[in-house]
Chains A and B, each alone.
Chain A
Amino acid sequence: MPLRRLFALTSVAFLLVLAISPAKNFFRPYRAIQKRYAALGVARARSAQQAREYENRPVAIHQFWLTGLDNRVDRCTTCHLGVADTLMRGAPSPFTLHPWTPHTPAQFERFGCTSCHSGQGPATTEGQAHGTAADAGPPLLPVSYVEAGCGRCHSTVTVPDAPLLSRGRAVMERYGCFACHSVRGREAYRSEAPPLASEPVKTGAEWLRRWLTKPRDVDPNATMPNFQLTAKEIEELSHYLFGQNVPEELARSVKAAGEEPAGDAANGKRLFSESRCISCHTVEGKGQGSAPELSKVASAASRGWLLAYIRDPHAFNPRTPMPRYHFSDAESRDVVAYMEDEFRDFDAPKDILEPLRVNRTLAEAGEKTFRRYGCFSCHAAPGTRASEKFGPDLDGIGDKRAAFLDFGRRTDLPRTLTSWLAAKVESPRSFAKGLKMPSYGFSPEETQAVVTALLGFGAQPVPEAYRVVPASLPAPIPAGRVGRLVDRYRCLSCHQIGDRGGDISTAPLTFAGSKMQRDWLVDYLVLSFSIRPILTERMPIFRMPREEAVELADAMETLFVDPRVPEDPFQGRPASDGDPAEGERLYATLGCRACHIVGKSGGYVGPPLTDSGTRLKPGWTYTWLKGPQRWRADVRCPDFGLTDRDALRLTGYLATLRQPPAQAKGAK
């Protein structure tokens, strides 16, 4: 009998033990959370029916199962129940409605949660899911860095609706991070930093000392970071740089230019402003700022060097964005005379441009210093080459576990990846002695942006279906004479052709041949004027010979055309048949004059249209009016949704506005 009783008892005990695991689930915190959500839903419901729905929702685990995205399972919505529920706008955490993003609420099923927010999708307790528990996996991304998630799939520099990530990536491009650090997709990155071969004939020992001490103090536009060099290292580097053999041709041209007579500074001033140097450079902070500040340039470079450089910048730095202007010898002397007069550091010592008497031993030590800090990654100096990247790879930096990071001396930091990265970007050498990464002096916003960009570099590429790569567009730049002209005037430093080129200009050349009338273009290239007077970045006057302008305009007419633009929207009838009077009335009622000038009145946002009939092809005007955003997504000209007939009338009116280019310039 006692045996039987014992057996009964152990059986019951066994059953109870078996029941523990479901029971454990029964006491999970999410159950209480789901009940709170139901209560909140009932309170917020707009109808009895809706309230009943909240009440009757079974308590259960909710999940997204992303079969296409590495079989991720995200159970975040087990607690974050209101992410797609518009009744939960402004509800208390964890029930609040997810903010709108390009992928939510429409695409929760495709992206889940952890693909942007990181954290542990399958976990169902807060500590495990958010990664705050001691034994949890990689934690949730702090919400201020959440745009890093966009970077996992989007590999373009500018990512729409991710301003912080885009800024971070732009900063990384500008400051040359990828010259030292390799990352998937940017293997081909090459710095635009000048080669240093002509340094001995360019500058003086004192200027170089100042520059190496703190580049930003010498030039606020400097992208070269502060290497925190010791006085000894600076001296060694100076001897190394001054001890180089200047290529014979450069040395000769600088020397010859230095002996030329002085030019006319007054004419130089006029040329300087016509050449629109501040479309890239700045003068006392005024200008675009991607190229060096010029207000002290005559105390940084010798007269001969300036003159030789302006005449042929590409001989000194084949990768410079600076165009080669078509100045005559006298004109370039005038420009330099103006610079010598005005662009001087009047506080600088007289000997700032005195060269250095080179000591071979110090120069040899300097060469080692040059290599030790990886200077060759950006500056291709003779005898050095960047066969492999100098710094560590950045692939996977966004997935690094905090436990694997070396915090070194930084015991003040919280042990998280984000704080480690922020400190690394802010003061790279603070972690240990002997580190080499220089300091960039970023503002807190820039640091946050760069950290966001870094967190976007995942260890594994996302599946193909999720990748958004830079658009690959044909860039039909011909070889031969036209190609050489495009290269000489460095059109691509400002304009885009296909998927190549810079973004200083708002006018891509890809469809320039469909847009601009050939004769106008020839005149414009010879004597450019500002189409938009409010812009700082304007087209320079290159002093281009007419033959070259004709050649470029003809090439555009043939190559840079778009099949979407009709040759003749009026289909053989004269433009006046398009009812220009009606078009003029439309121009007034649509409010075009808010942004455009015709004659003497109108706004300054868009280009003046006084000469639109001479400048633009009617086919272009027509297609533009039918949807400006087709040509540039962010263009400010609104889409008025014009009918074909109205667009044609307006085109007809704009085609009657004619003015020869010379007069257009005079009107300014």
Chain B
Amino acid sequence: MKPLRFLGALLAVLTVLTACSRKPAVKPAVAKAQPPMPSYELRLGRATFEHYCQTCHGETGAGDGFNAFNLDPHPRDISDPAFQKKKTDAELADAIQRGGAGVGLSSLMPPWGRTLSREEIDHTILYIRSLRKKSP
């Protein structure tokens, strides 16, 4: 019994020594004031939105892009909280992929399913979600 206890003690001491051998990492000074940046996926989504969607849907998604006045019906306000709440991501993706005509709305919204990849559409939806206006 005695040697066993001795061995146990020895093991404990060694364990403690091993644990202590690692010095805690030195914290370096962190670069100050990095410009705040949206996530990579959100930035990609914004780029896609600005390139393909903004001309009609407008910068804020309010449906007031420079080409919007040529369209009848006008593009809807996709930043509207009620609209955003009603539509699931899957529904938005479906409308983007199949276009207005594909989901029973205006054919002036073209189908993007063959032009944009699934990821591009997902990122764009992420960005559209960020356009949601604060409820009044």
What is the interface of chain A, defined by CB distance below 8 A to chain B?
A: 12-13, 16, 20, 23-24, 27, 99-101, 125-127, 132-134, 139, 142, 144, 146, 161, 163-164, 414-416, 418-419, 422, 444-445, 448, 534, 588-591, 593-595, 601-605, 629, 634, 636, 638-641
Knowing A133-B25, A591-B109, A604-B70, the reply to whether A16 touches B35 (Cβ < 8 A) is: no
Interface residues of B in 23-59 (CB under 8 A from A): 23, 25-32, 34-35, 37, 39-41, 43-44, 47, 51-52, 55-56
C-alpha gap A536/B10 in the complex (Å): 81
Minimum C-beta distance from A440 to chain B (A): 17
B71 on the A face (CB < 8 A): yes
Interface centre among B15, B30, B51, B115 (most CB of A within 10 A): B115
Residue in contact with A27 in the complex, picked from B19, B108, B123, CB distance below 8 Å: B19
Q: Is the CB of A146 within 8 A of B40?
A: yes
C-alpha gap A139/B27 in the complex (Å): 12
Closest residue of A by beta carbon distance from B112: A638
Residues of chain B within 8 A of A23, CB atoms compared: 14-15, 18
B81 on the A face (CB < 8 A): no
Residues of chain B within 8 A of A101, CB atoms compared: 40
Residues of chain B within 8 A of A588, CB atoms compared: 107
Knowing A27-B15, A448-B35, A591-B110, the reply to whether A604 touches B67 (Cβ < 8 A) is: yes
Residues of chain B within 8 A of A601, CB atoms compared: 70
13 contacts between A and B (CB under 8 A): A99-B41, A100-B41, A132-B27, A144-B34, A416-B28, A416-B29, A590-B107, A591-B101, A591-B106, A591-B107, A591-B110, A594-B110, A639-B114
B61 on the A face (CB < 8 A): no
Knowing A27-B18, A604-B67, the reply to whether A640 touches B110 (Cβ < 8 A) is: yes
Q: Is the CB of B66 within 8 A of A591?
A: no
Residue in contact with B55 in the complex, picked from A416, A419, A602, A605, CB distance below 8 Å: A605
Minimum C-beta distance from B8 to chain A (A): 11
Interface centre among B28, B41, B107 (most CB of A within 10 A): B28
Bitwise, B65-89 to A at CB < 8 A (1) or not (0) is 0110011000000000000000000
Residues of chain B within 8 A of A125, CB atoms compared: 22
Minimum C-beta distance from B93 to chain A (A): 14
Q: Is the CB of B41 within 8 A of A16?
A: no
Minimum C-beta distance from A398 to chain B (A): 16
Knowing A133-B25, A414-B29, the reply to whether A629 touches B115 (Cβ < 8 A) is: yes
Minimum C-beta distance from A533 to chain B (A): 12
Q: Is the CB of B10 within 8 A of A13?
A: yes
C-alpha gap A416/B31 in the complex (Å): 8
C-alpha gap A381/B23 in the complex (Å): 60
Knowing A132-B27, A589-B107, the reply to whether A24 touches B43 (Cβ < 8 A) is: no
C-alpha gap A640/B39 in the complex (Å): 31
C-alpha gap A444/B33 in the complex (Å): 11
Q: Is the CB of A163 within 8 A of B43?
A: yes
Q: Is the CB of A636 within 8 A of B123?
A: no
Minimum C-beta distance from A665 to chain B (A): 21
Residues of chain A within 8 A of B32, CB atoms compared: 414, 419
Knowing A20-B18, A27-B15, the reply to whether A638 touches B10 (Cβ < 8 A) is: no
Residues of chain B within 8 A of A16, CB atoms compared: 7, 10-11, 14
Closest residue of A by beta carbon distance from B24: A127
C-alpha gap A602/B31 in the complex (Å): 52
Closest residue of B by beta carbon distance from A139: B28
Residues of chain B within 8 A of A638, CB atoms compared: 99, 110-112, 114-115
Minimum C-beta distance from A617 to chain B (A): 24
Residues of chain B within 8 A of A641, CB atoms compared: 114
Residues of chain A within 8 A of B67, CB atoms compared: 594-595, 603-605
C-alpha gap A501/B125 in the complex (Å): 35
Residues of chain B within 8 A of A12, CB atoms compared: 7
Residues of chain B within 8 A of A24, CB atoms compared: 18
Knowing A444-B35, A591-B99, A605-B67, the reply to whether A415 touches B115 (Cβ < 8 A) is: no
Residues of chain A within 8 A of B114, CB atoms compared: 638-641
Residue in contact with A594 in the complex, picked from B29, B40, B71, CB distance below 8 Å: B71
Q: Is the CB of B70 within 8 A of A603?
A: yes
Residues of chain A within 8 A of B115, CB atoms compared: 629, 638-639
C-alpha gap A102/B25 in the complex (Å): 34
Residues of chain A within 8 A of B91, CB atoms compared: none
Residue in contact with B31 in the complex, picked from A20, A127, A418, A594, CB distance below 8 Å: A418
Residue in contact with B111 in the complex, picked from A132, A142, A640, CB distance below 8 Å: A640
Residues of chain A within 8 A of B44, CB atoms compared: 161, 163
Residue in contact with A445 in the complex, picked from B22, B25, B35, B111, CB distance below 8 Å: B35
Residues of chain B within 8 A of A590, CB atoms compared: 101, 107, 110
Residues of chain A within 8 A of B110, CB atoms compared: 590-591, 594, 638, 640
Q: Give me 16 other A-B pairs in contact (C-beta within 8 A), A127-B26, A416-B31 excluded.
A: A16-B10, A16-B14, A20-B18, A23-B18, A99-B41, A132-B28, A142-B34, A414-B30, A415-B29, A444-B35, A589-B107, A591-B108, A594-B110, A604-B66, A605-B56, A605-B67
Interface centre among B14, B43, B110 (most CB of A within 10 A): B110
Minimum C-beta distance from B58 to chain A (A): 13
Residues of chain A within 8 A of B35, CB atoms compared: 144, 444-445, 448
Residues of chain B within 8 A of A134, CB atoms compared: 23, 25-26
